[in-house]
Amino acid sequence: MPGKFYPQAKMTIPDEKPYRLEDLLKLFFGESPKNARIITAKVLLETIREEMPKGWSAENWPELVIKAMMVYYPDAEALMEYYNDIKWTEKKSRIPKLLVEKARELGLEEEGERKARGRLVDLFTVYKGHYSVVTKILKEAGLIRKVNGYYQLSDEFERILEGIAEFWRYWRKGKAE
């Protein structure tokens, strides 16, 4: 998208294999104070897994954003209740604006960074940005795919890593260039 910066999917090679989903996600998103992207990615992947084989409907993104917020901000539960009240009565295009207003009303704000430094920014907007970055990176890495408006878990990531391991095995034996 022009005008927006989305980081490319890059993975850090770990010292040992990951044993938890959070450990795998840290290889893509690194460390941060509250690991908001890791939390968002974990909530997304677990939600998709629960909805397999069809997958999780991408149009339900506000619910997922609020679920991720609820990990560190228990007051976001009131935002979820509000969302559940309005999701069938309001236009889909109006819902994000209403959620931003409600988040501010509930005090779900933090001091902004970069361009918003010194201003309070509502957490719904912050987590919505994390959601956008997370979905792009996970799709690019082959962990998820979007089919007919539904996110599904993908085996592309697994195939790529197995292919790399196979190439390395053959190269070490002198059977590949």
Rounded to 10 degrees, the C-alpha dihedral 79/84/89/94 comes to 40
Residue 52 tokens, joined: 């397999």
CA angle 84, 56, 21 (to 5 degrees): 105
Helix (H) or strand (E) holding 167: helix 156-172
Residue 112 confidence class, pLDDT cut points 50, 70, 90? confident
Task: Kindly report the average pLDDT of the chain as a whole number.
Answer: 92
- Indicate the pTM of the whole model: 0.89
pLDDT tens digits for range 53-110 = 999 999 999 999 999 999 999 999 999 999 999 999 999 999 999 999 999 999 999 8
pLDDT tens digits for range 151-162 = 999 999 999 999
Rounded to 10 degrees, the C-alpha dihedral 101/104/108/111 comes to 120
pLDDT tens digits for range 2-59 = 446 678 888 888 999 999 999 999 999 988 767 899 999 999 999 999 999 999 999 9
